[in-house]
Structure 1
Amino acid sequence: MTYCLRIADIPTSERPRERLMTHGPKNLATAELIAILLGTGQGPGKLSAVGLGQYILQQLSQHGRDPLAVLRDISAAELMKIPGIGPAKATTILAAIELGKRAFASRPLDRTAVESPAAAAAALSNDLMWQQQERFAILLLDVKNRLMGTQVITIGTATETLAHPREIFREVIRQGATRVIVAHNHPSGNVDPSQEDINLTKQLLVGAQFLGIPLLDHLILGNGDHLSLRETTGLWDEYPQGD
């Protein structure tokens, strides 16, 4: 790929930021990733940001060194010896390197197994229990029913929320969950299911069967209480989930 002196001279589809958005960071060259951090160019010959990124890598690779290995432990003072790199650019690069180190070194949190409606309600209580608007949320689980996370899908009015099965399962698939519990709150505190709640649960159970992603329960929360539709209806017998 040939780079012009200015990012503005590069076709929009070939600019680093646009390429990252379209193709993902893994498909960018190292110089392009550095260019996104730099934001602007300059240095010898008034290079573009990408050109300056390439120049930085060239400088760090002197004496047969691996430029990424050098970057891993470089100091701000060493970076600022490179023409075109001042304190702002140096600290941005160092911050990105440190963030990458911390992300790589972090250990996955122990995932708590969700083994009862009460445990699921507790995991969702902050998002749903005392809200004045009706909210619909999902509890994402792995194959061993361990908690991967929670997500509020929609927020409605004081008496109504909208949750389409498409929106719900899109998020489940995007997060890589293999099982799911759905829940919503009743701001009134009355956790008895409405006919709309029953109808939505049927739709979700059918969709879960089709996708092979078991829907383990649908909870209603409100005013410190909760109700499990799995425990109080025969819907899971009518639409078995194979769990």
Structure 2
Amino acid sequence: MRIHEWPSAERPREKLLAHGAGSLSDAELLALILGSGLRGFDAVGTARQLLTEHGPLRDLLEQPPAKLMRMRGIGSARACTLKSALELAARCLRADLERGAALTDPDSAGRYFAQHLRGRPQEVFAVLYLNSRHNVIGFEELFHGTINGAEVHPREVARRALQRNAAAVIVGHNHPSGNAEPSQDDRNVTIRLKQALALIDIRLLDHFVVGDGPPVSMAARGWV
């Protein structure tokens, strides 16, 4: 049965219009972008097959275009459409933060670091500078290292925060290995950063570690 033959309430487009995009499953959202399915499958069935073979969703979408276009059911045009949709979402999040939006949702900072740092071949340590209302006033990659680590200097973080007139900072770095579990060195750096910033009355709100999965918040672990 083709999608247009489904009951109206079960069709992805109708569901989105009636209840919003959040009501759709990963397969349904992907189906709307694909538009049509493989021979013998509707778009939702094709999307489910892609997710089964290449998912979950984030793993599928983060594949490079050359790999996406080789997947059965995607091809070059759909690969471009998928990558464009992902970039639009990333730019939307960046725009919110870069125009000074308040960080009322801690997870948004983690997503911001992930979009900037995930997939980098070397370790990068970056800082989000915030004012007293937790509005973003700047983002900066401060230290670049190797595949195994980056040397972090708390005094330089403090100096740059003072230059930006920041009242608080959120820091983050990536693990090129893909394993986002914080190391003991990561925890030690967090302690040193918190101490150095406290001396100049600047709060360290969180330290995110970015790997293949969701970013790990050290504040959520009680380590900040």
> Could you tell me the TM-score, scaled by structure 2's length?
0.54
Partner of 2:161: 172
Runs of 4 or more, structure 1, over 6 Å off, are none
Name the aligned partner's letter for residue 222 of structure 1: G
Quick one: structure 1 residues 126 and 210, their matched pair in 2 at CA, closer, same or farther if it must change by over 3 Å? same
1:230 paired to 2:219:
yes
Q: How many residues align?
A: 127
Question: Please, which of 181, 184, 193 is the counterpart of residue 192 of structure 1?
Answer: 181
CA distance in 2 between counterparts of 1:127 and 1:110 reads 17
Identical aligned residues as a percent: 35
CA distance in 1 between counterparts of 2:138 and 2:212 reads 23
**1:1-243 matches, cutoff 5 A:** 110-233=99-222, 235-236=223-224
Give SS of 1:176's match: coil
Partner of 2:17: none
- Asked if structure 2 preserves the Cα contact closer than 8 Å seen for 1:140 and 1:177, the reply is yes
Partner of 1:42: none
What are the Cα deviations for residues 132-166 of structure 1, in whole angstroms up to 9, with x where unaligned? 11000000111111111210001100111111101
CA distance in 1 between counterparts of 2:144 and 2:99 reads 30
CA distance in 2 between counterparts of 1:221 and 1:117 reads 15
Larger Rg, first or second structure (1 or 2): 1
| Deviation of 1:122 (Å) | 2.3
- Asked if structure 1 preserves the Cα contact closer than 8 Å seen for 2:110 and 2:217, the reply is no
| Deviation of 1:110 (Å) | 4.2
- Asked if structure 1 preserves the Cα contact closer than 8 Å seen for 2:173 and 2:210, the reply is yes
- Asked if structure 1 preserves the Cα contact closer than 8 Å seen for 2:113 and 2:208, the reply is no
- Asked if structure 1 preserves the Cα contact closer than 8 Å seen for 2:102 and 2:136, the reply is yes
Give SS of 1:191's match: coil
RMSD: 1.5
